Amino acid sequence: MPPLREEDEIRDFPSLGPIETQVIQVFVDGVKVLGLPRSIGEIYGLLFISPEPLALDDLVNRLGISKGSASQGLRALKTLGAVREIEIEGSRRSYYEASTELKRLVGGFIREQVRPHLESGQAKVGNLLQVAATEEDPARREFYDARVKQLGYWIGRGRFVLPLLQKVLGQ
């Protein structure tokens, strides 16, 4: 951890106005905190502040990112439920707009990014309980057992708190 790092570099978007640029910056910071790549923040940010849906090519041109990034970023945002695909008649491109229901965004993030880690953590703790029981020294075995159980309790609290979070943030 760099001892309290300050605001990161802003990237300049020649074809974007100041509002768009600054909104995107907010989302870039946001997704970084969530451990998602910058390009996802840029894409979601631009869609969020665009009055009309945008196509993949628009993202590539206006954000100055590669087609590959745009494609992968859109896929990730779709599986997060953060982006909606829009049909526009008379065009065979796909257009996208940002989902703006906080409930849906939070739900998607929890489902895709948080829950899997809690599940896998819980599985590991289950196994650890077995391993801890094999410790020879009784005092040490006792200690290990207590700590592993505590770890399991923490994960349980995590699983318990997620639905509450979604409820509190709902609409």
Partner DNA sequence: GGGTTTGTTCATTTGAGATTGAACACTTTA
Partner DNA sequence: TAAAGTGTTCAATCTCAAATGAACAAACCC
Contacts with DNA, residue ranges (CB under 7 A): 1-2, 5, 8-9, 32, 36-40, 55-57, 64-69, 71-75, 91-94
Give dist(CA 144, CA 160) in Å, integer.
Answer: 24
Cα 157-35-68 angle, rounded to 5 deg: 140
- The residue (of 64 and 135) whose beta carbon lies closer to a second copy is 135
Give dist(CA 52, CA 95) in Å, integer.
Answer: 9
Q: Choose the one of a second copy, DNA, none that binds residue 23, judging by a C-beta under 5 to 8 angstroms depending on kind.
A: a second copy
Print the binding letters for residues 62-101 with a second copy: x by CB under 8 A, - otherwise.
----------xx-xx-----------------------x-
| Segment near a second copy (CB under 8 A); pick from 8-16, 57-65, 88-96, 158-166 | 158-166
Closest listed residue to residue 28, CA positions, set 12, 15, 45:
45
Give dist(CA 103, CA 129) in Å, integer.
Answer: 36
The answer to whether residue 120 forms part of the interface with a second copy (CB under 8 A) is: yes
Q: Choose the one of DNA, a second copy, none that binds residue 44, judging by a C-beta under 5 to 8 angstroms depending on kind.
A: none
Closest listed residue to residue 56, CA positions, set 161, 69, 163, 22:
69
Give dist(CA 28, CA 48) in Å, integer.
Answer: 12
CA dihedral 140→143→147→152, nearest 10 degrees, is 90
Q: Which residues bind a second copy (CB under 8 A)?
A: 1, 3-4, 7, 18-19, 22-23, 25-26, 29-30, 32-37, 40, 48-49, 51, 72-73, 75-76, 100, 102, 112-114, 116-117, 120-121, 124-125, 127-128, 131-132, 135, 139-140, 143-144, 147-148, 150-151, 154, 157, 160-161, 164-165, 168-169
